[in-house]
């Protein structure tokens, strides 16, 4: 009896969780010409590609997708490698005050991001990084480092000390220890951190609308926000079709690398 209650409880919450996604898909497929202003619960036609075409032309989604792909890939990659170097230094190398270094780096995730907006805006304008691709990559990479460090560092603590000691007895230096031994051992945590940070950068709107303004610089979420605000006369189905399209890359990425999330939770030893 308890098993049936548990399964019924889980199914009920799964259905409630999926209702917004279901409504998004159904209304994104509704032809904009037949949309009456109220959400459709059942498909009344198939106008998804027409809606998507209008959204693509109105908000220049192609350029926004390219920018977000560039920012998310480079920033997450830079952050993950920086986190790997920092984790190796804190955990494997004989570093003093390891706890202090951990909290110093990880504290970047504890502060609300809104407090960075005003000083970042002023600093970016002063150094000519405002509304540039380089500026977007740098700020996203910096913001991604703390959480990536948290994931990689915690996984690196599960690597047995005997591995490092044996390698050092064989004459391995710090460079070889990092590149040839520890980095391959923690690759699952690196990929998991990359997926997390790629998803965050892709879905970010706050810094996208604060530090960029040109269509050839702004990320896709900023383009989607402009479509939702400046082109509201086009109708909700067009906006929803665009939202469904821009959500697909992160879903595909997560499903592709989902096995690394499970393996990153298992200790090396």
Rounded Cα gap, residues 146 and 49, in angstroms: 40
Neighbours of 211 (CB within 10 A): 25
User: What CATH number should be reported for the domain holding residue 200?
Assistant: 1.10.3720.10
Rounded Cα gap, residues 83 and 214, in angstroms: 31
The confidence score (pLDDT) of residue 262 equals: 59
CB distance 237 to 32 below 8 Å: yes
Q: Find where tokens 């989604």 sit.
A: 61
Does residue 55 belong to any structural domain of this protein? no
Q: Compute CA distances 168 → 164, 181, 183, 187, whole Å.
A: 6, 11, 16, 21
Does residue 45 belong to any structural domain of this protein? no
pLDDT tens, position by position, 26-49 = 777 777 666 666 666 777 777 777
The b/e string for 98-124 (b: 16+ C-beta within 10 A; e otherwise) is eeebbeebeebeeeeeeebeeebeeeb
Does residue 39 belong to any structural domain of this protein? no
Does residue 164 belong to any structural domain of this protein? yes
Does residue 210 belong to any structural domain of this protein? yes
Smallest Cα–Cα separation from 250: which of 188, 201, 191? 201
Does residue 46 belong to any structural domain of this protein? no
Determine the structural domain holding residue 93 and report its residue range: 60-235+248-263
Neighbours of 227 (CB within 10 A): 23
Q: The pTM is what?
A: 0.83
Please state the domain count of the chain: 1
pLDDT at 131 over 70: yes
Rounded Cα gap, residues 155 and 190, in angstroms: 9
Backbone Cα Rg of the chain: 23
Q: Find where tokens 């592709």 sit.
A: 256
pLDDT tens, position by position, 175-229 = 887 888 888 888 888 888 899 999 999 999 888 888 888 888 899 888 888 777 6
Does residue 1 belong to any structural domain of this protein? no
Does residue 158 belong to any structural domain of this protein? yes
pLDDT tens, position by position, 178-189 = 888 888 888 888
């Amino acid at each position: 009896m308890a098993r049936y209650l548990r399964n019924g409880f889980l199914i009920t919450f799964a259905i409630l969780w999926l209702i917004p996604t279901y409504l998004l898909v159904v209304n994104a497929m509704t032809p904009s010409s037949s949309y009456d202003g109220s959400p459709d619960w059942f498909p009344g036609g198939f106008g998804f590609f027409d809606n998507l075409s209008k959204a693509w032309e109105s908000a220049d989604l192609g350029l926004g997708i390219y920018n977000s792909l560039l920012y998310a890939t480079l920033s997450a990659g830079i952050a993950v490698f920086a986190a790997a170097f920092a984790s190796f230094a804190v955990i494997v190398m004989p570093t003093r005050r390891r706890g202090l270094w951990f909290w110093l780096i990880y504290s970047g995730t504890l502060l609300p991001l809104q407090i960075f907006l005003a000083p970042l805006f002023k600093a970016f304008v002063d150094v000519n990084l405002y509304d540039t691709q380089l500026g977007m990559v740098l700020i996203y990479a910096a913001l991604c480092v703390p959480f990536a460090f948290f994931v990689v560092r915690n996984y690196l603590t599960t690597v047995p000390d005997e591995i490092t000691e044996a390698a050092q007895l064989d004459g391995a230096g710090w460079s070889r220890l990092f590149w040839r031994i520890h980095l391959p051992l923690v690759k699952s945590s690196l990929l998991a951190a990359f997926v997390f940070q790629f998803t965050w950068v892709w879905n970010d709107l706050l810094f996208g609308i604060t530090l960029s303004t040109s269509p050839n610089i702004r990320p896709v979420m900023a383009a989607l926000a402009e479509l939702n605000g400046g082109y509201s006369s086009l109708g909700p189905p067009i906006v929803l079709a665009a939202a469904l399209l821009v959500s697909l890359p992160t879903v595909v990425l997560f499903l592709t690398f989902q096995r690394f999330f499970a393996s990153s939770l298992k200790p090396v030893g």
